[in-house]
Structure 1
């Protein structure tokens, strides 16, 4: 009963955080869109009149179409990446001291000379025998906002955890972009492979929402290059098939069906990359996800070609709070144990209330 009340309190807390803007939400996206479109609309009206007087209808229509597409292309990074939510996210990053975990502060330099800030949480005993999780977070906030989640996994699964902020997030340098996040992922992976004090046979990656797309890109790249040793496994939670797919889901405007992919500045096409991954993959899906349709997680699971894959659906899980669902950490721990015995089958799909 105490555990149930505790989880209920935590869930209410994170719903409150979501509603107050500490975690990415639909209202924030809508507000940004309305603000930016109003500016574009005002400028467009002026240019509309100017071009109509100078060139006539045909050139005017062509200009408007190109202008709208160019404006939307330029707005995509702002709508997708939210490093300044909440507004203290670039200045205040809580430390693992809050949960009394052993850790060290790490700075990881990328191939293009950006510096990524992170925490390496290590178990107090037998650190070099434990599995190590590399945590790819979502599109808003910083690693300090993920410490409660990390603490849950740290305790329940007895693992080491590397938390880091992408470029332009938290105390990391740079500006976020799709290519930049991929470079960050590779740099973090290369760093963790240099740590001789960690069990290199049990390095695995976890990604939530946007972080799932980054994790799947890294896993796909490692599979294609036949990197050794291979990843222990991949775990993704409430992530999407692609950005064009999400755009159609969020805005539900028929014209999006006809926009060529070249007009999308960010693709994050996980649906194509999932087909290259051969290591075990665990899909965690919140059935009440209000942002990413659970059908996208089902589609990723279906397209995955790994011989060991599992989809777990949490009936009460929402986009940012699935990790508070009953048996969440237990199921992850169970999957990790199964991965250590490759001869044992992993079931393909499971649902939880």
Structure 2
């Protein structure tokens, strides 16, 4: 029997209940994936209640001055499932050709990601457009797999219509659980490029690493969608990832119709890939060389 630690802290009875009584995808998703933190930010409306400014709490650990917050344009938008989700457009570079539609990882919200977005966009010469999943930050409702897909759809359509960014100038970036909606969207729209950072193949394969097929009740089946992605795909994964095994990134890469040179970060885990020098260098090369040529 697998060790408890290999199943994200679930006991054998938990696993039996999760997958057998009955194994609905929403239950797999809720048990294995979603850990929304208490909100680390708020939106302050103007007198008309139509525009908002971003206010960060101390827990957001903002690393810049108040002046840099002027680069953040924040908003709400509605999904097709009726949820109101929060989002932000980070104006990092006036000369940026590309905008990154960033779907963040688990256990963080937009407030905690704000410093990272500004720093990343400034270094790779891209603007950053991001959103909080339903149930994260100040977005309404609760997180579930179906909401993930409608959340990114709402973000995509706002980026296309309100900000008039062409698909060829959009880079979809998903990290960890964020690779799930990213792959889904990329399977339906062609864009400039797709970046999958620590992707998972499916929920069952995370819980049971020896799973070889996709069951009808599996959640997050990105492995069954990746062959539909026609855009160039960069896969990034740490070889010592303790949350989503390196084999997931390798499997996704091998099924990509248009993969570019992947980034396997030797010795990196799930949450420290960005600390390695080759991370930024690989992104810069993708954007300034590969997407230009």
Fold in common (TM above 0.5): yes
Q: CA deviation at 1:293?
A: 1.2
In terms of fraction of residues, the more strand-rich structure is 2
> What's the CA shift string for 1:239-298, capped at 9, x where partnerless?
11111211212xx7xxx779x82344x2x1111211111211111111121111112111
* Contact map agreement 2:84 2:140 (CA 8 A) in 1: yes
User: In the alignment, which of 302, 309, 329 is matched to residue 254 of structure 2?
Assistant: 302
Match of 1:214 in 2: 181
CA distance in 2, matches of 1:34, 1:136: 30
SS across alignment from 2:226: helix
Match of 1:247 in 2: 207
Match of 1:12 in 2: none
* Contact map agreement 2:32 2:203 (CA 8 A) in 1: no
Query: Which structure would you say has the larger Rg?
Result: 1
SS across alignment from 2:281: helix
Say whether residues 1:174 and 2:141 are aligned partners. Answer: yes
SS across alignment from 1:261: coil
Say whether residues 1:232 and 2:192 are aligned partners. Answer: yes
SS across alignment from 1:319: coil
TM, length-normalised to structure 2: 0.80
Match of 1:116 in 2: 85
Q: CA deviation at 1:78?
A: 2.8
Unaligned runs of 5+ in 2: 43-55
* Contact map agreement 2:101 2:130 (CA 8 A) in 1: yes
RMSD, aligned α-carbons: 3.1
User: In the alignment, which of 142, 149, 153 is matched to residue 120 of structure 2?
Assistant: 153
CA distance in 2, matches of 1:66, 1:137: 29
SS across alignment from 1:234: strand
Say whether residues 1:106 and 2:75 are aligned partners. Answer: yes
User: In the alignment, which of 218, 222, 226 is matched to residue 270 of structure 1?
Assistant: 222
> What's the CA shift string for 1:64-90, capped at 9, x where partnerless?
x999711664742431343444xx247
Q: CA deviation at 1:27?
A: 9.9
Could you list the structure 1 runs, at least 4 aligned residues long, displaced by more than 6 angstroms after superposition: 65-68
Q: 1:198 to 1:122 in 2, by over 3 A?
A: farther
* Contact map agreement 1:136 1:206 (CA 8 A) in 2: yes
CA distance in 2, matches of 1:269, 1:327: 29
Q: 1:257 to 1:299 in 2, by over 3 A?
A: closer
Q: How many residues were matched structurally?
A: 269
In terms of fraction of residues, the more helix-rich structure is 1
CA distance in 1, matches of 2:12, 2:39: 21
Match of 1:322 in 2: 273
User: In the alignment, which of 156, 160, 165 is matched to residue 189 of structure 1?
Assistant: 156
Q: CA deviation at 1:335?
A: 0.6
Unaligned runs of 5+ in 1: 1-25, 41-64, 223-229, 343-353
SS across alignment from 2:88: strand
* Contact map agreement 2:99 2:127 (CA 8 A) in 1: yes
User: In the alignment, which of 26, 30, 36 is matched to residue 78 of structure 1?
Assistant: 30
TM, length-normalised to structure 1: 0.67
Match of 1:292 in 2: 244
User: In the alignment, which of 94, 99, 113 is matched to residue 125 of structure 1?
Assistant: 94
* Contact map agreement 2:86 2:132 (CA 8 A) in 1: yes
